[in-house]
């Protein structure tokens, strides 16, 4: 008999995002504040603990795992972890979100380790602006990483672009042209108010309908009922069938009713919703019961009954959740 997890609102939970580290080689202005303190090593789940959680999830009906962070490729041993997780019987796909900075080195090993798809973050094609948005990043390194990913044989590579009013909204068409030229999908993400980043999030909010209006100046958008099992709504471009446009719109199009996912943070909190603080301390359970999964399983099942119905991001985009995205597993 196959097991599935169902939450208190009847939603099947078959997707887990695992943050393998809160650390990152970038400091994106929407994700982190300029000065960040990262977790000490002993508070982070070990690779063995992460794998034990993955085993438990997959044995209970989880079909898709996304490894994220922080930047997953700064975690030592990441390729070996991918190999072990992707081999779990019952898992449909292991995927990853990365900033792309290390893909020239890691794209091939990741594909060989069973990672099926990659989401690569890219918010601008202007090198100076890239440096400003990431505070430290090098655009050329990431573009080379995207090319390496395209050569490595993943089933799909997608671009994720967070669009911020006054920072990069004038690049929506250029980023789309880039995706079209490479035959990639691209998703435009509304900024989420996670953590205080030293500026008004309300002022930089650029909504998906505004992105769509810009796209319609150049492209004919066709509706699509496709889903990649995540929060994006997709559209097709009339003349470029190889590129889909995704919209991730926590503000303008609440996606909570179809939410199928939970997140495991780098320190082992099982977050039931990105926009709420309800969680389960998996690290304490893992360390208290090193050889017996039963108490963990019981605790997860009980916690899922309390998964909130929806996130609480305010309409004006200001912060209510003090946890940063890198600590949440975006």
Binding site for ligand SAM (CB under 6 A): 24, 30-31, 68-69, 71, 97-99, 121, 160, 162, 189, 191-192, 194, 325-326, 330
Beta bridge partners of 102: none
Structure tokens at 143: 């573009």
CA 117 to chain centre: 12
- Judged by CB under 6 A, which stretch of 23-31, 47-55, 122-130, 169-177 contacts ligand SF4? 23-31
Name the DSSP letter for residue 171: G
Beta bridge partners of 94: 65, 115
d(CA 145, CA 122): 11
Minimum Å distance from CB 273 to ligand SF4?
19
Closer Cβ to ligand SAM, 253 or 293, answer by number: 253
Which partner, ligand SAM, ligand SF4, none, binds residue 74 by CB below 5 to 8 Å per kind?
A: none
Contact mark string toward ligand SF4, 78..107, x via CB under 6 A: ---------------------x--------
Total of residues contacting ligand SF4 (CB under 6 A) = 13
Minimum Å distance from CB 1 to ligand SF4?
39
Asked if residue 24 binds ligand SF4 (CB under 6 A), the reply is: yes
Minimum Å distance from CB 67 to ligand SAM?
9
Q: Which of 16, 18, 32, 179 binds ligand SF4 (CB under 6 A)?
A: 32
Which partner, ligand SF4, ligand SAM, none, binds residue 145 by CB below 5 to 8 Å per kind?
A: none
Q: Which of 31, 62, 262, 282 binds ligand SF4 (CB under 6 A)?
A: 31
d(CA 131, CA 155): 30
Structure tokens at 88: 């779990």
Q: Are 34 and 64 a contacting pair, CB within 8 Å? A: no
User: Distance of CA 80 to CAs 102, 125, 152, 213, Å?
Assistant: 16, 32, 17, 44
Structure tokens at 220: 């004919």
Which partner, ligand SAM, ligand SF4, none, binds residue 276 by CB below 5 to 8 Å per kind?
A: none
Asked if residue 15 binds ligand SF4 (CB under 6 A), the reply is: no
Which partner, ligand SF4, ligand SAM, none, binds residue 194 by CB below 5 to 8 Å per kind?
A: ligand SAM
Helix ranges, 118-229 (H): 127-134, 139-152, 172-182, 201-204, 208-215
Helix (H, G, I), strand (E, B) or coil at 241: strand
N-terminal to C-terminal alpha carbon distance within the chain: 32
Query: What is the CB-side half-sphere exposure of residue 194 using CA atoms within 13 A?
Result: 22
Which partner, ligand SAM, ligand SF4, none, binds residue 185 by CB below 5 to 8 Å per kind?
A: none
Dihedral over Cα of 250, 17, 234, 172: its sign = positive
Tell me the pairing of strands 269-271 and 221-223.
unpaired
Minimum Å distance from CB 118 to ligand SAM?
9
Which partner, ligand SF4, ligand SAM, none, binds residue 32 by CB below 5 to 8 Å per kind?
A: ligand SF4
Between CA 149 and CA 155, with CA 150 as vertex, the angle to 5 degrees is 90
Contact mark string toward ligand SF4, 36..75, x via CB under 6 A: ---------------------------------xxx----
d(CA 133, CA 136): 8
Q: Which of residues 117-156 bind ligand SF4 (CB under 6 A)?
A: 121
Q: Which of 27, 117, 158, 207 binds ligand SF4 (CB under 6 A)?
A: 27
Asked if residue 191 binds ligand SF4 (CB under 6 A), the reply is: no
Closer Cβ to ligand SAM, 185 or 191, answer by number: 191
Q: Which of 225, 291, 229 is nearest to 258 (CA)?
A: 229
Closer Cβ to ligand SAM, 65 or 296, answer by number: 65
């Amino acid at each position: 008999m196959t097991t599935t997890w169902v939450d208190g609102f009847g939603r099947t939970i078959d997707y887990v995002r695992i943050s393998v580290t809160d650390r990152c080689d970038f400091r994106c202005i929407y994700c982190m504040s300029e000065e960040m303190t990262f977790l000490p090593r002993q508070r982070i789940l070990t690779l063995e603990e992460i794998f034990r959680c993955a085993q438990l999830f997959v044995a209970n009906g989880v079909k898709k795992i996304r490894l994220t962070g922080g930047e997953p490729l700064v975690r030592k041993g990441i390729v070996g972890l991918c190999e072990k997780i992707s081999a779990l019987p019952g898992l449909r796909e292991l995927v990853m979100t990365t900033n792309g900075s290390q893909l020239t080195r890691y794209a091939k090993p990741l594909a060989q380790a069973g990672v099926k798809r990659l989401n690569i973050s890219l918010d601008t094609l202007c090198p100076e602006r890239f440096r400003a948005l990431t505070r430290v990043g090098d655009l050329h390194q990431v573009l080379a990483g995207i090319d390496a990913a395209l050569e490595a044989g993943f089933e799909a590579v997608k671009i994720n672009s967070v669009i911020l009013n006054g920072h990069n909204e004038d690049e929506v068409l250029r980023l789309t042209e880039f995706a079209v030229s490479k035959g990639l999908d691209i998703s435009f993400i509304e900024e989420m108010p996670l953590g205080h980043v030293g500026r008004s999030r309300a002022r930089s909010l650029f909504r998906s309908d505004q992105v769509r209006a810009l796209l319609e100046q150049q492209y004919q958008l066709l509706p699509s009922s496709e889903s990649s099992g995540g929060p994006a709504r997709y559209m097709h471009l009339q003349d470029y069938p190889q590129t889909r446009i995704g919209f991730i719109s926590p503000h303008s199009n609440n996606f909570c009713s179809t939410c199928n996912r939970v997140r495991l943070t780098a320190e082992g909190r099982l977050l039931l919703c990105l926009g709420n603080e309800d969680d389960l301390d998996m690290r304490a359970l893992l360390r208290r019961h090193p050889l017996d999964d039963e108490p963990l399983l019981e605790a997860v099942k009980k916690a899922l009954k309390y998964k909130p119905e929806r996130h609480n991001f305010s309409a004006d985009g200001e912060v209510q959740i003090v946890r940063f995205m890198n600590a949440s597993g975006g």
